[in-house]
Amino acid sequence: MTLTTVSENRAFGGVQGVYRHASAATGTDMTFSVYVPPHAAGASLPVLWYLSGLTCTHANVTEKGEFRRACAEAGVIFIAPDTSPRGEGVADDPAYDFGQGAGFYVDATEAPWAPHFAMRSYIEDELPALIAAHFPADMARQGITGHSMGGHGALTIALRNPDRYACVSAFAPIAAPGQVPWGEKALSGYLGDDRHLWRAHDAVALIEDGARLPELLVDVGDADPFLEQLRPDLLEAACATAGIALTLRRQPGYDHSYYFISTFMAEHVGWHAERLAR
């Protein structure tokens, strides 16, 4: 559980840190960022996880997400992991939507990905234990959100662990990866051709198979060039059938970028903070 501090900077009265550790799940060093807001000595604070999208590292949201003021005001710890294992000896692919930077939050079973691509285990098990050991985190009060591939990760992880997260949201999630090219490529590459096995990593399929959450908040831009990969309409239909209270906001004129995410980030932080305070 040894943690190396890469950097720490004062921000809105709290500390924005970047940290590195040797991961047993991935067999590599992993880097992540944590913002700890100002708090009284001995306080234990709720946690909001943010999972990033294709090609991203922890740095994208840390530098562009504009979450710190809202987290400082609400007293919420904000955690941003990397999107895949990296480094020498880690399998990769020349395409942007597969391999390093595109772990899809699954535990790969296929060669050459299986030795290192265990992002499900890393996010669900290993990193939470590390956070609990090193930060003033109340692990009984957790929320999760994410963007694009990370929105897929947030939805699927929460649907598989409904008792762990008090609240779930997403920015432009890949809602039905088993039905779109990005997801079909990743799930077949990492998990093989048995589509039944994919269903545990597909939010729409999980809901169809009985997984439930009380409510969801999802923002998507109506000018997003990747809407055919995201399929918010399928998530909307699945939630309606299942009786899940989905607030799906189609934001006019917004695209897939961090200009979009940063515009609505404070609203998501506030939405989570309200539920984490209950």
Domains and CATH numbers, the chain: 3-277 (3.40.50.1820)
pLDDT of 278 reads 81
| Local structure of 168: helix, strand or coil | strand
Please count the CA atoms within 13 angstroms of the CA of 175 that sit on its side-chain side: 27
Residue 5's pLDDT band, with cuts at 50, 70 and 90, is very high
| β partners of residue 35 | 16, 78
Return d(Cα 248, Cα 109) in angstroms, integer.
34
Q: Which residues of 225-262 are buried (b: 16+ CB within 10 A; e: fewer)?
A: ebbebbbbebbbbbbeeeebebebeebeebebebebbe
What are the residue numbers of the active site?
148, 224, 256
pLDDT tens-digit map of 95-152: 999 999 999 999 999 999 999 999 999 999 999 999 999 999 999 999 999 999 999 9
pLDDT tens-digit map of 34-57: 999 999 999 999 999 999 999 999
pTM value surpassing 0.85: yes
Taking the CA atoms of the chain, what radius of gyration do you get in angstroms? Answer: 17
Q: Which tokens is 79 given?
A: 């955690």
pLDDT at 1 over 90: no
